[in-house]
Chain A
Amino acid sequence: MDLFLQQLINGVIIGSTYAVVAIGFALVFTVLRVINFAHPEIFMTGMFAGLLAGSHISDNFFVVLIFGAIGAGAVGLTLERFVLRPLRGRDVLMTLIGTLGVAIMLQNGMAKFMSPDPVAYPKSLQVSLLLSDEIILTSTQAVNFIVSILLLAGVSFYVRKTRYGRATRAIAERPDVAAAFGVDVNRVSQVTVALASVMAGIAAVSVGILYGSAWAFVGLFYGLKAFICMLVAGNRYFEGVILVAMMLGVIEALVTGYVSSNFRDVAAFTILICVLYFRPNGLFGSYDT
């Protein structure tokens, strides 16, 4: 029972980070109709921006978090302006290759500039045990989970209740009609990419603090899982993406605990293949592209 509870906690925590990255993927995809393969690397850039701030400015938690957000947001906006916007309306393969190129550039650039190996993260939070000796929940795990939940609640509020959030959903469903009713599609795209990037940057800093290290290739791990979550859920309901991400985190943790960590990815891809076979538009449906 202890193992089950422990893996459940671990799964929900990692699932909440998957959810933040997956929502970033889904937001950009619904508005720009583009799979932004650079998104996981924006996450990684945010992690390193936080690390640099923590090492050179202050290791205060909020300072590190803010710099992570700024770093990722700046990279996201640059990507939108110089890659996504010029390629809008072109063949989808061109945008895929464009974002993939940026991803490879960021990943290898960071490996060269910082290190190809994991780098120690500033100790912005004291690690303390919150539950018991049998079931471990550290303060950094709790903070990671709380940060993710706040980000998800924030994006949900944005999409449902704000003017630009409604425009995001309107563009997702009928971009032409949205434009004819006064929505500047370029502006909303810019805001969407910035929002997705800032969220990824904040989540990345809390992951860096949780594991005590930053790694130039971390984006691949989170990005792949987040991408699976978006495909399995479909991009129509963001709440569906969050639910799938949490479930994937828990399933992976249970497989790791009860079977072997070698089978963790097998579980994720088996779920993906099964869902795509029976429901190609995802469990909760997708917008027409």
Chain B
Amino acid sequence: MSPLLTISDLHVSYKAVPAVAGANLELFPGELRVILGSNGAGKSTIIKSILGLVKPSRGLILFEGEHELTALAPHQIHKLGISWVPEGRQLWGTLTVYDNLRMGGFIEADDAKISQRIGEMLERFPRLAERRNQVAGSLSGGEQQMVALARALVSGPKLILMDEPSLGLAPIVIRDVFELVKEINASGISILMVEQNVRQALKVAKWAYLLEVGRVVENGPSDEIANNESVREIFLGGRH
């Protein structure tokens, strides 16, 4: 099977400061892979490079083996079937829940089709159905994360990029969010996730990459990474 997403020798700099320095990653159809790393390791920059929101200085990002994403604008990349759950949700706070979901399906011009998909999302997330006419900025953190996940799903993506979906949420909500992530992946959608909640991330992901100062220093099946000495030292609170 050929990879859905291939990142080769990716270099990104913010002015003169390198954020990603030669990262290589792969994601196969239907997989859930996670990128781990401390703050400033370059995880979110990789996500933004895939989305076309930052332009790499060098390297290749191939989607479905044929689309070179670094040459495309963000709206063109989304049309290929790549969606996003941004860090901190980044909902449109002055728009209603319903309008946020409509914007999630912006590329779909057929009103009937988009209404049907939103209907499916509201069935999947019943709490959002109750709050559909409420402005998104007034929701709790957990509800906002549901809107962010639903918004990413409305367009029917092949791949969802998730940037720290557990950030700023209560522990009980985090558990629910990871359950949802697993469910979404089980429905056949590939997921590339960046996460600082290493324990939970390694439970749901099949494969993990460990990023340090913009480079992938370890990668392998999640259970192997979970037992890796340096990962345990850095992220999981030492030996058990």
Contact = CB atoms under 8 A, between A and B. Distances in A.
B94 A167 contact: no
Contacts of B73: 179, 184
Interface residues of B, number: 26
Contacts of B18: none
B53 A180 contact: yes
Interface in B52-74: 52-53, 73-74
Most interface-central of A181, A183, A185 (chain B CB within 10 A):
A181
Interface in B94-109: 94-95, 99, 102-104, 106-107, 109
B51 interface: yes
Contacts of B99: 166, 169
Interface residues of A, number: 18
Interface stretch (A129-137, A138-146, A170-178, A265-273): A170-178
Interface in A181-219: 181-185
B151 interface: yes
Nearest to A164: B106
A182 B155 contact: yes
B106 A181 contact: yes
A266 B93 CA distance: 37
A90 interface: no
Interface string B80-120: 00011010001011110001001110110100000000000
A239 B77 CA distance: 35
A289 to B, nearest CB: 15
Contact of A179 (B74, B83, B102, B104): B74
Contacts of B78: 180-182
A169 B92 CA distance: 8
Contacts of A236: 94
A182 B53 contact: no
Contacts of A179: 52-53, 73-75
A240 to B, nearest CB: 12
18 contacts: A163-B102, A166-B106, A169-B94, A169-B99, A170-B95, A173-B95, A177-B92, A179-B53, A179-B74, A179-B75, A180-B52, A180-B75, A180-B78, A180-B84, A181-B103, A182-B78, A182-B155, A183-B106
The 3 closest A-B pairs by CB, nearest first: A182-B107, A179-B74, A182-B78
